[in-house]
Amino acid sequence: MSITQSVSTEALDRARSLIQSSRDVWDMTLPWVEQYWDIEVLRRYHQSGYSFISLTIQDMPASYEGVIREVGRFQVLCEPHADWLCFAANLAEVDAGYREGKLVLGLNVQDTELVHEDLSRLQNLKDLGVRHMLLAYQTRNRAADGCAEPADAGLSLFGRELVREMNRVGMVVDVSHMGRRSSLEAIEISETPAIFSHSGVFAQCRHIRNIDDDQIRACAERGGAVGVVGIGAFLGDPAAKSETVFRHIDHIAQLVGPEHAGIGTDYIEDLEWTWQGIQSARETAWRDPFGTQLYEGVAFAPEQLVELVAIMQANGYGERAIQGILGGNFRRIYQLVEGDQVPARAEVG
């Protein structure tokens, strides 16, 4: 497919208007490590037109007690900025924040090791606002293999129980970072749509973190969606240009339909130094057999969203398709998983 990349001032104005009129402008993954971040990072998302951000709390390694503490600290962090920022544990609260013109923040966790073998923890985490959770993060845990494991062994018996319990409590099954076989098995056995919250397309960039067409098809067939990551190394473009992000989105749209694509950038462009530290700490476990640099270059910035939308418009994407990619597709999955129940907010211990 020939991709139109040039973006005029008029095109940017049209894209900005579409973003402003869209209820759901979601980024499904933004790691939050409080000591490294300034609240102005979130303000940039608000000013760029985002309405909802799913923050990863206590990035890695996570513990159950640590995540609960972080939820409490995170809620306190929001309080001084209540004029433009709020926290939501369910869709009703997301919509309330949107009506007030606020950036709404939800939570995710990128591993299930913090559950250990106590499945009752999932209910409390979900009630605290953890809406989606990765089963395995890069390497093997008691539930599944990660994408860096050469054995690609799939889900364990405990992993299968974990998926079923996530279904029961109303938590979205997130299969980013997982091994190929593990992800396919989790998608298959989940009674509700699973998501790849932040993944690139392997056909566009041969990277250990990216997913192949079979994984994309399986996810779509069960009603799920893929949030395209914004990290330059995963995109195959160290500059993380908007047209490169579009190529990954367009691959998904052409393969299974735009209703199965979304955004999950994972980092923004001025946090390059944190990646270097992560890569150094996990160099052995994260060695990529395809020879790519795991964290090289910059990442998609919130301010690029308007350019990305303009590129989608220039390449024939209609308003409905774009609004789905911006967040409507993930909202649909949240609605299916959450159902009609709005749980009482759990106490932070």
Mean pLDDT of 19-31: 96
Label residue 281 by pLDDT band (50, 70, 90).
very low
Q: How far apart are CA 297 and CA 293, in angstroms?
A: 9
Q: How far apart are CA 273 and CA 210, in angstroms?
A: 22
Mean pLDDT of 221-245: 95
Mean pLDDT of 68-81: 84
Name residue 51's amino acid.
S
Asked if 127 contacts 343 with a C-beta cutoff of 8 angstroms, the reply is: yes
What DSSP string runs through 78-107?
A: HGGGTTTEEE-SSHHHHHHHHHTTPEEEEE
> Residues with Cβ < 8 Å from 236, sequence gap 6 or more?
200, 204, 205, 206, 207, 244
pLDDT, tens digit, 9 for 90 and up, residues 168-187: 999 999 999 999 999 999 99
The CATH code for residues 9-338 is: 3.20.20.140
Label residue 237 by pLDDT band (50, 70, 90).
very high
pLDDT of residue 257: 98
Asked if 176 contacts 132 with a C-beta cutoff of 8 angstroms, the reply is: no
Q: Are strands 26-32 and 52-57 parallel, antiparallel or unpaired?
A: parallel
Q: How far apart are CA 158 and CA 49, in angstroms?
A: 41
Q: Domain boundaries in the chain?
A: 9-338
Asked if 163 contacts 186 with a C-beta cutoff of 8 angstroms, the reply is: yes
Q: How far apart are CA 312 and CA 228, in angstroms?
A: 14
Mean pLDDT of 30-49: 83
pLDDT of residue 217: 98
pLDDT of residue 154: 93
Structure tokens at 337: 């998983």
Give the least confident one: 172-176, 236-240, 276-280, 338-342. Answer: 276-280
Label residue 60 by pLDDT band (50, 70, 90).
low
Label residue 342 by pLDDT band (50, 70, 90).
very low
C-alpha pair distances (Å), 305 with each of 53, 74, 172, 293: 14, 26, 25, 25
Mean pLDDT of 255-270: 89
If you average pLDDT over each of 33-37, 72-76, 295-299, 305-309, which comes out highest? Answer: 305-309
Give the least confident one: 39-53, 127-141, 333-347. Answer: 333-347
What DSSP string runs through 148-196?
A: T-TT-----HHHHHHHHHHHHHT-EEE-TTB-HHHHHHHHHH-SS--EE
Structure tokens at 210: 């990216």
pLDDT of residue 278: 40
